[in-house]
Amino acid sequence: MTLLVLEIIIPEGLDQEHLGAALLAATLEFFAYAVSFAVISTAWMNHHRKFVVIRRYDARLQWLNLLLLFFIAVLPMPTSFLSNYGGEISPWPAVLYASVTAAVFVMLNLIWMHAWRAKLMTEDVDRAMYRYVFWSILPVPLVFVLSIPVAFFHTDAAMYMWLLIIPAVVITRRIGRKGADAV
């Protein structure tokens, strides 16, 4: 399991003038940690739910799983980069973070797609369920990928874009449920 360490240190003995800056820096570190915690826990729950219905495996599924594990294991590095150098200093921390996070959720969908096409799932998974799960994950990597070009113009705006994932997933799931009911 990936170890994401929260190490927010507020130096001792700060005067009132420097305390505000230290708290602001700690807020950015906490934001990066909170987003990464949400990403890792969401990916873990999605992975767990998928493998309830994926009953068989093949070499390709194993490799896709290992690639997913790679991106999850790498996530603490861009998290640290984002918390230490994020904001308006440079777009690269946000770009790296968005890229790795998008890769995590792309891998989850590739695992799902492969398991469907290779018939590795239980018979309970019909086309409607397959589509629902696929489309309900898609907004996450899409929002992260769309935030990458924005980061080169306004880094904070790119990071705020990540909040769009919440309504995007809710809307996609509602639409998917209606579509699944219609099938």
Between the CA of residue 155 and those of 132, 139, 145, 170, what are the distances in Å? 32, 20, 14, 25
Residues 41-70: pLDDT tens digits? Answer: 999 999 999 999 999 999 999 999 999 999
Q: pTM of the full predicted structure? A: 0.84
pLDDT at 179 over 80: no
**Percentage of residues of the chain with pLDDT beyond 70:** 90
Residue 3's pLDDT is 53
N-term to C-term CA, the chain: 38
Between the CA of residue 74 and those of 1, 44, 68, 69, 100, what are the distances in Å? 11, 15, 10, 8, 8
**Average of per-residue pLDDT values in the chain:** 87
Q: What is the mean pLDDT of residues 147-158?
A: 95
Residue 146's pLDDT is 98
Q: In the chain, where are the structural domains located?
A: 16-182
In this structure, what token pair is assigned to residue 118? Answer: 């290779």
Q: What is the mean pLDDT of residues 93-111?
A: 97
